[in-house]
């Protein structure tokens, strides 16, 4: 079925269905339409009308899952200092450095920004060079 033809039929008959007409009565009305819908087309229209749609958000885009790394969030940029510790690698026996903690040096944020979690992680990986760390805004 042509997408425009289907949309027009769905728009027309959704109003009728919203008045409380049963699916059987709706099917009879669609079959009796002057456009002469086939049985398959009638079934498509009925399915489109009776299948509940996902309500769009005010932007028209479905909300992203909370764990989606592309979800935009507020972050505060603070001056920070990495605290490293050393341990012996069990495989090679060589000492290796690891990040034990991050010390926040500024009480108030340098700035507040709206970025993706992925971007904040990339910027936080540069802590040793930049001296700045992005904390999620509370």
Cβ–Cβ < 8 Å for 87, 98: yes
Residue 56 CA, distance from chain mean position? 12
For position 63, what pLDDT does the model report? 58
The predicted pLDDT at position 125 comes to: 92
pLDDT in the model for residue 95: 92
Helices (DSSP H) in the chain: which residue ranges? 3-18, 23-31, 39-50, 117-124, 127-130
Mean per-residue pLDDT pooled into runs of 10, the chain (138 residues): 82 82 86 85 86 57 61 92 92 91 92 92 92 91
pLDDT at residue 111 in the model: 94
Determine the pLDDT at residue 36.
84
The Cβ of residue 16 has, within 10 Å, a number of other Cβ atoms equal to 14
């Amino acid at each position: 079925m042509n997408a425009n033809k289907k949309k027009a039929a769905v728009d027309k008959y959704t109003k009728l269905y919203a008045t409380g007409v049963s699916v059987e009565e709706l099917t009879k009305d669609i079959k009796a339409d002057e456009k002469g819908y086939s049985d398959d087309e009638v079934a498509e229209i009925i399915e489109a009308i009776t299948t509940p749609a996902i309500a769009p958000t005010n932007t028209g885009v479905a909300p992203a899952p909370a764990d989606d790394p592309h979800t935009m969030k507020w972050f505060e940029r603070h001056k920070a200092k990495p605290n490293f510790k050393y341990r012996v690698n069990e495989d090679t026996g060589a000492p290796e450095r690891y990040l034990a903690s991050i010390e926040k040096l500024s009480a108030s944020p340098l700035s507040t920004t709206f970025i993706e979690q992925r971007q904040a992680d990339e910027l936080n990986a540069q802590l040793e060079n930049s001296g700045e760390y992005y904390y999620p805004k509370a």
